[in-house]
Amino acid sequence: MDFSSLLGFLLAVGFTIYGILASGNMLNFWDLPSVYIVLGGTIGTIILSNSKEDLKNVFKTLKIVFSKKDMDPVRVINQILELSYIARKEGLLALEPKVDEIDDPFLRKGILLAIDGVDSKVIREVLEQEISSMEERHKFGRRIYDVGSVMSPAFGMLGTLIGLINMLKNMEDTSQIGPQMSVALVTTFYGSLLSNLIFIPISNKLNAKTSEEVLIKEIMIDGIISIQSGENTRFLEQRLYSYVNSSLSSQKGVDER
C-alpha cells in the first residue's frame, strides 16, 4: 500500500469537507439534478471516449495508484554492479547461474541476451521497444482519467448554464433569484471537485509512476550493455548513480576490487 497516496487523498477530501462545514450549511452544496448532470455526463463521455479493454482496466490502474511497487533504483544498481563484477572476473557465461536470482523480468531478459552474444545494438533496440510499448499501455490507462479531468468541469459548466436558463425564465419572484443562482453554481462546484480531487491527481500519479519505471529500465539497459562490453565496474557505478538523485550516492554498494 502506498500510504502517501492514501494520505494525500484523505487530506484533500477531509479539508474540503471541513471547509464546506466551516463556511455554512452542508446542504447548501447538495443538489441531486446537478449530480446527475456532472456524474452521468462525465461517465458517459468516458465510456464513449475509451475502448472496452481500457474500461475493463480502470480498477487495475486505480489499484496501481495506491499500491507501492518495489522499484528501488539503488537496489537495481547494486544488483547490476554485482553482475558486472562477476562478468569481468569470470566472464559473461559465469552469469548464467545467476539469471534465476534476478527478480525483474526486464533485467533477466537483457542479461540472457547478453550471455547469448546478441549484438549490443540489437539488445538496446529490443529493450527500448519494450519500454515504448509499456509507455503506450500506461498512456491508455491514464486516458480515462485525462478525459474525466476535462469533461467533469465541462459538464459542471453545462449544468450551471441549465440552471441559469431556468432561473431567467422565472424572474417574477425576485426573492428566489439568490437560491436559484446558488443551485445553478453547485454543478460547477461538482465538476471542479471531481476534476481536481479525483481525475487530475490520479492521472499525475500514474504519470509519475511511469516515469519512475522508465528511469529504472533505462538504468538496466545501460548496465546490461556495459556488462556485455566488459566496462570497468567502478566507472559503471559512477555512471549509473548519475541517473538517480545525488543524495542516494551514500548508499552505493559494490566496488570493483
Per-residue model confidence (pLDDT) at position 245: 66
CA 229 – CA 227 distance, rounded (Å): 5
Q: Are residues 36 and 17 in the same domain?
A: no
Q: Are residues 168 and 77 in the same domain?
A: yes
Q: Are residues 18 and 39 in the same domain?
A: no
Tell me the average confidence (pLDDT) per consecutive run of 10 residues in the chain, 257 residues long: 81 88 82 91 92 82 75 88 90 87 91 91 94 90 91 93 84 74 87 93 90 91 92 88 64 46
What domain range includes position 25? 1-29
Per-residue model confidence (pLDDT) at position 56: 83
Helices (H) and strands (E) counted in the chain, each on its own, are 11, 0
CA 192 – CA 154 distance, rounded (Å): 9
Per-residue model confidence (pLDDT) at position 247: 42
Per-residue model confidence (pLDDT) at position 203: 92
Q: Are residues 98 and 135 in the same domain?
A: yes
Per-residue model confidence (pLDDT) at position 256: 44
pTM above 0.85, yes or no: no
Q: Are residues 102 and 19 in the same domain?
A: no
Per-residue model confidence (pLDDT) at position 141: 84
Q: Determine contact, residues 87/95, Cβ cutoff 8 Å.
A: yes
Neighbours of 112 (CB within 10 A): 16
Q: Are residues 83 and 5 in the same domain?
A: no
CA 152 – CA 157 distance, rounded (Å): 9
Q: Are residues 40 and 24 in the same domain?
A: no
Query: Given the C-alpha cell 417574477, which residue does it identify?
Result: 172
Q: Are residues 47 and 18 in the same domain?
A: no
Q: Are residues 162 and 96 in the same domain?
A: yes
Number of domains in the chain: 2
